[in-house]
A and B are shown apart, each in its own frame.
Chain A
Amino acid sequence: MAISPPFDQVVIEPARRPALAVVWEFARRRPLGAIGAVIIVVMLAVATLASVIAPYDPLAIDFGGMLASPSSAHWLGTDSFGRDVLSRLIYGSRTALLVGFGASLVGAIVGAVLGVASAYFGGRIDLYLQRVMDIFLSFPLIILALALVAILGNSIPNLILAITVPMIPRCALVIRSSALSIREMPYVDAARAAGFRHRRIILRHMLPNVMAPFLIMVTAFVGQAILLESSLSFLGLGVQEPIPAWGLMLSGAAVEFAERAPWMAIFPGLAISLSVFAFNLFGDSLRDALDPRLRTQ
């Protein structure tokens, strides 16, 4: 089941060059990836500094100033409760990154652990784990997430969990296939023969070597998680009012006011697209850069 290209030959070379040079090299050779990275960094900065740069309280209601078009007072206008769209967008980046990184990090970590364990121990453990993964892989992402939200409720931690679960088997699959090839490497055999404990071998030798596919999975999933959250919002199961969140801003009243107050929809839509775009661009380039088979020499 080759959902993503296998990473069986990926081995990270120890970085001997200074970090800055590596970054510069990446930016020069993969301009698209660099653009993505810049957008991600800007997003992170905005999320961190939200309370400093947001001009208004994102929750403050002003019925007198409902649906105001963009002006010098409200750069991106106000929504149907008179809340400042810009401020909600700025605070919304926190929610997006929290859900995006939360789900993808947890999903990729659990997936990586399962994938490595599966590959390393092999035999029955591998067989059973693979069967369980197969089961979860058979559900479409959104359907599993939908069912989980219905069970857990839709607070942000629960949402992260609901988005994480369907991601785990997808990540485990990829990590397992690259871990399998490392397991056959002479030095792992040597470490085993030398009588090192499983834990040491896994932590010292296997994990570092699946870092490349791991990083690729994390970046690829962040975008997916942000999109999935907005789809859940559209179905009324995502982040709930009054929490500022892009998916929520885009899906509810924004649709009804699409023509009368288009700024309510355009800006959160742009924010979602831009951030998902950035993560995909970056992830794509990272994949190319880390997969030696695709290097153009």
Chain B
Amino acid sequence: MRRHPVVALIVLGLVLAVAWPAVAQDKPRSGGELVFVVPSEPPSYDAHQEETFGLIHPTAPHYNTLLRVDPFDKTGTKPVGDLAESWTISKDGLTYTFKIRKGVKFHDGSEMTSKDIKASYDRIINPPAGIKSLRKDMYDAVKSVEAPDPTTIVFKLKWPETSLLLALASPWNWIYKADILAKDQHWYETHVMGTGPFKFVEHVKGSHWVGKKNPDYWDKGKPYLDGYRAIFISNSAAQVAAVRGERAMIQFRSFSPPERDQLVQALGNKITVQESPWDCLNFVTLHHEKKPFDDKRVRRAMSLALDRYAGSAALSKITLVKDVGGIQVPGTPYATPPAELEKLAGYGHDIAKNRAEAKRLLKEAGVPDGFSFTFRNRGIPHPYEPLGIWLIDQWRQIGLNVKQEIVEASAYHPMLKRGDFEVAMDFQCGFIVEPDLDLARFVSTSDANYGKHKDKVIDDLYIQQSRATDMEERKKLVRQFEKRLLDDEAHVIYTLQWHRIVPHLSKVHGWTITPSHYLNNQLDTVWLSE
């Protein structure tokens, strides 16, 4: 997805064309305070060093990023400029040059220049001692970041990397002020000072976070809101009650289907529901060093046992899953179309045939009567718990006797890391749908390869797809990766794609759901109709 300026312009035009009718009919109204629920809380205020949406939701409106994902794009995969006005990519794909907007001011009144962007990216790519840059690995291809003049920033790469533009649209890469970073790299852990559409007012720990309109925002006319108030509510029943009692207007992460139904029933047309496949997914990790899971016939049989389509119909009524998907979120550019997906083992519609094949494979593997094992699941109600119940039921139907053991949520990752399991529920969640981001953990050398598979083919395919410059070529490689991972070797078993459900009061406008709860939270486009 290399974008030349012309392409970018065309894309921009398309976006405008799509967005135009909506804008024409509903002229945004200024004023009002958006009140939203955040189910988690920010540990520190420094997004470069955190990975919880609990920080993004209340704090992102104070900042800008170099690029961002188009706030009106439902797939959440179109990069558009945020602080960057335009960009060019050299023919060899090794130099990205961005033009920076003029007249952008920090909340302290000082001018934002390319120096600030360079300082922020240097901190992310080459963190100084004591700074924990959590997504540093995404920029391995970057050789240098240069700021030749105040309105130009240049990224030089070691090798061409298709995903760079999206990596630069990361919602985590807030642009901080260079002078502050030069004095104290830890300042942003406890302070807020950006260029974003809203200024920081207060954070009362455990209670709420308040922002007010930035009157000097560079994007004239925006933001529409006078301010916002994020209230922290950890219990999900209390979150639903807050929206239902109209003490809050929206919760940007997701509600469960019964919670949605409850809100719709109680509030009728006062509530609008937006839904999207979610770039998060639970898959089953099988420990490749423990018998019989070292045998790929066994692993494939376990995937074939799952009636994914019937499971989807039933589970989507009670928990946060829905689509039957492959390694990319359905509906996004690199996703395998359903007709082709069906050819993978365990994705066909004829469940009787699948299960017969599963039993044949078990027989071949020397375990015709099935076997017993312990399935470790994580102590989280949605969707882990229902998925676990479903999986056990499905495996039982090919003669596997499964005992479930639930591990407390916080003790789960250490358990996976120790390799202390036979079969375990694992979890994958991205902030932008992009093969590079979603597939990195399946490479044999990844620290998150908890099942300890070794597969040279997978590793090579990963690098090839990452460096493929032609989109069709890359698609083909991603498909091969998918078939290898889920079918031929069945290193892991994918369950169902998570499904994001955001019901909000109908008076909230200008916000579009995307496949990621990390995206689209700057709130500059959001407005209230009363």
Contact = CB atoms under 8 A, between A and B. Distances in A.
Q: CB atoms of A and B under 8 A apart anywhere in the complex?
A: yes
Interface of A: 61, 63, 66, 80-81, 149-150, 153-155, 236-237, 240-242, 252-253, 255-260
Contact of B404 (A153, A237, A241, A255): A241
Contact of A255 (B237, B318, B390, B409): B237
Given A236-B381, A241-B388, A260 B406 contact: no
A236 B386 contact: no
B256 interface: yes
Interface residues of B, number: 33
Given A61-B389, A240-B379, A242-B404, 10 more contacts: A63-B314, A80-B317, A150-B410, A153-B408, A236-B380, A236-B409, A256-B236, A256-B258, A256-B262, A260-B265
Nearest to A243: B404
B310 interface: yes
Residue of B258, B381, B405, B410 most packed against chain A (CB within 10 A): B258
A48 B258 CA distance: 35
A259 B313 CA distance: 22
A241 B385 contact: yes
Contacts of A252: 381, 385
Contacts of B405: 155
B243 to A, nearest CB: 14
A154 B408 contact: yes
A241 B259 contact: no
A257 B381 CA distance: 14
Interface string B223-259: 0000000000000110010000000000000001011
Contacts of A63: 310-311, 313-314
A255 B240 CA distance: 11
B15 interface: no
A260 B408 contact: no
A236 B384 CA distance: 12
Interface in B404-449: 404-411
5 contacts: A150-B408, A154-B408, A155-B405, A241-B404, A256-B262
B472 interface: no
8 closest cross-chain pairs (CB), A and B: A63-B314, A240-B406, A256-B258, A80-B318, A61-B393, A255-B237, A236-B379, A257-B258
B261 interface: yes
A237 B256 contact: no
Contacts of B381: 236, 252-253
Contacts of A61: 389-390, 393
B389 A241 contact: yes
B499 to A, nearest CB: 15
Contacts of B386: 80-81
A139 to B, nearest CB: 19
B288 to A, nearest CB: 25
B392 A242 contact: yes
A296 to B, nearest CB: 46
A153 to B, nearest CB: 7
Contacts of A154: 379, 406, 408
Contact of B318 (A150, A240, A241, A253): A253
B404 A240 contact: yes
A66 B314 contact: yes
Contacts of B404: 240-242
Contacts of A257: 258
Interface string B372-400: 00000001110001101110110000000
B256 to A, nearest CB: 6
A153 B411 CA distance: 9
B282 to A, nearest CB: 15
Contacts of A81: 318, 386, 389
Contacts of B262: 256, 258-260
Contact of A256 (B259, B313, B407, B409): B259
A259 B265 CA distance: 10
A155 B409 CA distance: 15
A258 B266 CA distance: 13
B234 to A, nearest CB: 11
B374 to A, nearest CB: 12
Contacts of B392: 242
A199 B369 CA distance: 56
A38 B313 CA distance: 45
B130 to A, nearest CB: 30
A239 B311 CA distance: 25
A240 to B, nearest CB: 4
Interface string B280-312: 000000000000000000000000000000110
Contact of A241 (B237, B256, B406): B406
Residue of A66, A81, A258 most packed against chain B (CB within 10 A): A81
A260 to B, nearest CB: 7
Contacts of A153: 407-408, 411
A241 B385 CA distance: 7
A257 B390 CA distance: 19
A212 to B, nearest CB: 40
Nearest to A248: B385
A153 B261 CA distance: 34
A36 to B, nearest CB: 32
A258 B240 CA distance: 12
B393 A260 contact: no
A153 B405 CA distance: 10
A63 B379 CA distance: 22
A182 B311 CA distance: 65
A237 to B, nearest CB: 7
A162 B145 CA distance: 55
A252 B236 CA distance: 10
Contacts of B390: 61
A260 B389 contact: no
A237 B408 CA distance: 7
Nearest to B394: A61
A242 B258 CA distance: 20
A149 B311 CA distance: 32
A251 to B, nearest CB: 9
Nearest to B314: A63
Contacts of B408: 149-150, 153-154, 236-237
Residue of B236, B237, B240, B379 most packed against chain A (CB within 10 A): B379
A256 to B, nearest CB: 4
B367 to A, nearest CB: 23
Nearest to A251: B381
A157 to B, nearest CB: 13
Contacts of B258: 80, 253, 256-257, 260
Residue of A153, A154, A237, A256 most packed against chain B (CB within 10 A): A256
A128 to B, nearest CB: 34
A66 B390 CA distance: 13
Contact of A237 (B261, B317, B379): B379
Nearest to B260: A256
Contacts of A155: 405
